[in-house]
Amino acid sequence: MVRRTVHEVTPRSVQARRDTVVTEEPLEIRLGWPRHAPTRVAVIMRTPGNDFELAAGFLLAEGVLDARTSPRGIAYCVDRDLSQEQLYNVVTVTLADPPLRHPSSRSTSVSSACGVCGTQSMDEVFTGENDRLPVRERVDARMFNELPDALRREQSIFARTGAVHAAGIFGFDGTLVVAREDIGRHNAVDKVFGARQLGKAAFADDSILCASGRIGFDIAAKAAAARIAVIVAVGGPSSLALDLADRAGITVAGFVRSGRCVVYTCPERINGLG
Domain boundaries, the chain: 25-125, 128-269
Share of the chain above pLDDT 70, in %: 89
Single pTM value for the model: 0.80
C-beta separation of 111 from 46 below 8 A: no
Q: What is the DSSP string of 107-165?
A: -S---SS----HHHHHHHHS-TTSPPPP--S-B-GGGGGHHHHHHHTT-HHHHHHS--E
User: What is the chain's Cα-based Rg?
Assistant: 21
Which residues are designated catalytic? 114
pLDDT tens across 12-51, in order?
899 999 999 988 888 889 999 999 999 989 888 888 888 9
pLDDT tens across 89-133, in order?
889 999 999 999 887 644 433 344 555 666 666 676 666 567 899
CATH architecture, domain 128-269:
3-Layer(aba) Sandwich (3.40)
